[in-house]
Amino acid sequence: MGNASSNYNQNPEPGDLIEISRGGYQHWAVYVGDGYVVHLTRASGFRRLFSPLNVNGLVRKEKLQDIVGRADWKVKNILDNEYRPRPVDVIVREACALEGRQMPYNIATRNCERFATELRYGKQSQQNPEPGDLIEIFRGGYQHWAVYVGDGYVVHLTVASDVRGSSSNSLSSVPNKKALVKKEKLQDVAGTDEWKINNILDSDSCPRPVDVIVRKACALVGRKLPYFLSSHNCEHFATELRYGWPESRQVLKVLGFAFSVGLIVLIFVCPGPKGRLLPKKRLW
């Protein structure tokens, strides 16, 4: 071990958070197994805590002993008493998928501790959803939608591309296929993605009673349903549960763009089921 810290008698497990003492501050990393950690570091390296406040950050995968050097470190799953950790395979997969990614680094709002805790526990929003609320999750090039049913759980219609860390990252990349209705922890579905409560049609439509929304959502768990981007996507599914009829603003935006560039003809050539792009009837 050379000059490495004596803390190597600890035995971190994959998914554990590692706290490294750096004098006046702590650096944080996620242990991913085989002696390696993934961590967010300033691209220019470690200097002093507040120099500067906003810099470029880089996600690295390195040997724990190389990062620690002579410093003290310990396993510290700091929020385990407040939040349920995500499955280990999810933590490790998402951490490793971020290796080499450049992202903003801000000591106050987007630092190494925030990065590590979001990987272990998922993004903790300051919002407090109520049963029946619609949850909009930002997946880069598109939004995934779910219905909050209480106790930290959501019900959502999902295909492979709606899973955090999948290879697909755009609305247009999902072909027509069957989808599965799942009930999962919101923190597991969102992962490190941003999310918000967005009862998108409340200004136009009256929501159904909360008990009806939750009961119907939970009754659909485990069902396989048709999935079409134009007419039966996750937003259609969520809005129908809340309002009793489906609508997808994402699809409307895509259609508006297509019309503006003269591509609307292609959409009419390839309509959704029974020629409906935005069905006003029930999807199940």
CATH of the domain at 267: 3.90.1720.10
* Catalytic residue from among 39, 112, 232, 234: 234
Distance CA 152, CA 155 (A): 11
Say which DSSP state 110 is in. B
The pTM (predicted TM-score) of the whole model is 0.55
Cβ of 213: how many Cβ atoms within 10 Å? 24
- Mark which of 121, 148, 180 sits at the end of a domain: 121
Q: Is residue 282 part of a domain?
A: no
144 tagged catalytic: yes
Q: Is residue 281 part of a domain?
A: no
Residues 12 and 102 in one domain: yes
* Catalytic residue from among 27, 39, 144, 236: 144
234 tagged catalytic: yes
Residues 147 and 62 in one domain: no
Higher pLDDT: 261 or 180? It is: 180
Who contacts 259 (Cβ-Cβ below 8 Å, separation ≥6)? none
- Of 99, 70, 78, give the one whose Cα is nearest residue 28: 78
What single-letter amino acid sits at 167? S
* Catalytic residue from among 39, 156, 232, 236: 156
Write out pLDDT tens, residues 138-195: 887 788 999 999 999 999 999 855 555 443 334 444 555 789 999 999 988 988 788 8
218 tagged catalytic: no
Strands of 54-63's sheet in order across:
73-75, 17-21, 26-33, 36-42, 54-63, 102-106
Cβ of 135: how many Cβ atoms within 10 Å? 24
Tell whether the model's pLDDT for residue 38 goes beyond 80: yes
